[in-house]
Structure 1
Amino acid sequence: MSGNPSGGRAGAAPETILGEAADAAEAASNSKPLDVAARWGFAVMALLHVVIGAIVVALVLGAPGKAEPTGAIEQLAANPWGPAVMWSGCIGCAGLALWQLSEATLRARHLPRSEGLGKLVSSGFLAVAYGGVGYTFGSFAVGVSSDSSDSTAAFSRSLMDRPLGAPLLTALGLTVAGIGVYFVVKGLGKKFKEELRHFEGTHRGHLVSALGVTGHVAKGLALVLTGLLFVVAAATNDPGSSTGLDGSLKALLHHPFGPYLLLPIGAGFIAYGVFALIRARFGRM
């Protein structure tokens, strides 16, 4: 009598075992708890975009502020419910980062090679970004704050001190700018409708579409500016000039038409925040 006491698994090909493990992990990523955590993460990011947009508008009016996630989180931490908001934001962003990671790896494997590679880059970048925001929430929750502009500049200096530092910083800048272009194209092409069909064909759908276009384009332009600062920092050997989103937006204030560009960008961030809140509730995951 021949047979395998383990049910034949000992003779299974390694790629078959890995495939089954990936299928199991993908099934786990479709669980209700992760869905709820990811949606909560979208809501947290929506709130951050609204606050960042308000800070940008305030900058044009002469008020101080840091127009980036850390500045927005700092303002949220200052309210009486600060600690609870910080831990809640940390959990939500962690869930959203984990969901984006599953999009970049587990679900991207079912796509054609070119689409899968694009999904790996875009969702992978977002997973890192959301994870970073979650880490910032956690840092504020335990009483440790930081300035992201200083952190970005320090990171750029550290990278420039390494072999091939300038090309790597340039590649990073082009990647961030490329993500920005992706957001602009996604907004103008209304490709976000694939994620949100709940209001399709309704009067409210036109409003949601307008918010999506305005928000995606504004966020995309801001990311393009941020990426260009990395490229300029590498080209001029001045890593201190790469000060992230806050620095890229404040740099516009020194240009003649800068304030006229910042106002619609700030309004666009608010629009994106409202759209993201709708996405959190009704969007397809």
Structure 2
Amino acid sequence: MGDSAADKLRRRAGRIQDGLEPVADAAEEVSNTRALDAVARFGYAITALLHLLIGIVAIRLALGGSGEADTAGAIETLAQGTPGRIAVWAGFIGCMGLALWQLSEATVRSRSLPRRTRLSKGFTSGALSIVYTVLALTFANFAVGPGSDASGATIHFSAMALNFPSGTFLLSGVGVAVAGVGVYFVIKGVLRKFRPELTFLDSVRGSIIDALGVLGHVAKGIALILVGVLFGVAAIQHNPGRPTGLDASLKALLEQPTGQYVLGVIGIGFICHGIFGIVRAKYGRM
């Protein structure tokens, strides 16, 4: 009796998998090098620095000052002068290295894990790889030119989304997704799910870092929830000109009676997240 079409497809898939196995082994060997780990740690340090700068601007806004409390504003601060251009290119390298490291976590490094863990790792690390790639390209944008305004970019995105026939649902979905990431950060902070990332949380020093991790993750989560809410408001009002980025979300707090105090706490939280990130870059598990 001849083999069925399904059997032939399975054998063909098996041969393809066997052929790709040496490639995957080689990729895993490259991903396990100290060089990639070192660049990824540098990428963590760069993102930590951005959190520190955003937190400083948020506190400045709460005290009546000015500034752009978002990633583009933080990178623009770094990009001042010739030393700044060098720093921005270094940021690009670090974030691209971190993106590649996360990609390896999502693929070749997770091959031996149980299926459920492998799928979860593939989703989370894969998403982070995309995030850090976008961040690296933002650094590159500032390195080769004047950069871009983040609030203007989000307005453009909102307008483009609302031009689609189902744009309201699309933009609402983006808002829900961003707010969902914010909820994840809040839960991660409150339940201290960041602890496996570090190695010395059983010491006095670890207790301080533990507190920084809680406040930093919760503050970042709240900020992302606010961004998601603004996306939702823009969708419901069908207002493509409404700013929907992080800077607009934080500045919207100033319109509330006690918003400046909330904004100040969020700013402190971002600074705590930045300090936590620096410690993560130095001592975190890779």
TM-score (normalizing by structure 2)? 0.89
Partner SS state of residue 162, structure 1: coil
In the alignment, structure 2 segments of 5+ residues that lack a partner are: 1-11
1:127 Cα deviation (Å)?
A: 2.0
Given residue 93 of structure 1, which amino acid in structure 2 is its aligned partner?
C
- Report the equivalent of 2:174: 172
In the alignment, structure 1 segments of 5+ residues that lack a partner are: 1-9
- Report the equivalent of 1:187: 189
- Report the equivalent of 1:239: 240
Partner SS state of residue 253, structure 1: helix
Deviations 1:88-110 (A, max 9, x none): 11111111112122223334555
Alignment of 1:114-153 (within 5 A): 114-153=116-155
The reply on whether 1:273 has 2:277 as its aligned counterpart is: no
On the 8 A contact 1:41/1:89 being kept in 2, the answer is yes
Structure 1: distance between partners of 2:226 and 2:161: 20
Structure 2: distance between partners of 1:81 and 1:141: 11
1:24 Cα deviation (Å)?
A: 2.9
Structure 2: distance between partners of 1:15 and 1:109: 13
Partner SS state of residue 91, structure 1: helix
58 and 137 in structure 1: CA distance in 2 versus 1, 3 angstrom threshold = same
Deviations 1:60-106 (A, max 9, x none): 11111000011011111125521111111111111111212222333
Which has the higher mean CA deviation after the structures are superposed, 51-60 or 188-197? 188-197
On the 8 A contact 2:95/2:133 being kept in 1, the answer is yes
61 and 45 in structure 1: CA distance in 2 versus 1, 3 angstrom threshold = same
104 and 178 in structure 1: CA distance in 2 versus 1, 3 angstrom threshold = farther
- Report the equivalent of 2:53: 51
Among 3, 17, 20, the residue aligned to 1:18: 20
Which has the higher mean CA deviation after the structures are superposed, 211-220 or 232-241? 232-241
On the 8 A contact 2:201/2:209 being kept in 1, the answer is no
Deviations 1:112-139 (A, max 9, x none): 5554444334323322222222112112
Partner SS state of residue 237, structure 1: coil
Structure 2: distance between partners of 1:123 and 1:150: 28
91 and 260 in structure 1: CA distance in 2 versus 1, 3 angstrom threshold = same
1:147 Cα deviation (Å)?
A: 0.3
Structure 1: distance between partners of 2:73 and 2:141: 13
Partner SS state of residue 257, structure 2: coil
Partner SS state of residue 285, structure 2: coil
- Report the equivalent of 2:8: none
Deviations 1:166-207 (A, max 9, x none): 22222222111111111111111111110101x232110110
Number of aligned positions between the proteins: 275
Structure 2: distance between partners of 1:105 and 1:163: 36
On the 8 A contact 2:201/2:210 being kept in 1, the answer is no
Structure 1: distance between partners of 2:204 and 2:239: 50
- Report the equivalent of 1:87: 89
TM-score (normalizing by structure 1)? 0.90
Structure 2: distance between partners of 1:280 and 1:101: 18
Given residue 229 of structure 1, which amino acid in structure 2 is its aligned partner?
L
C-alpha RMSD of the superposition: 2.0
On the 8 A contact 1:150/1:243 being kept in 2, the answer is no
74 and 265 in structure 1: CA distance in 2 versus 1, 3 angstrom threshold = same
Percentage identity across paired residues of the two chains? 51
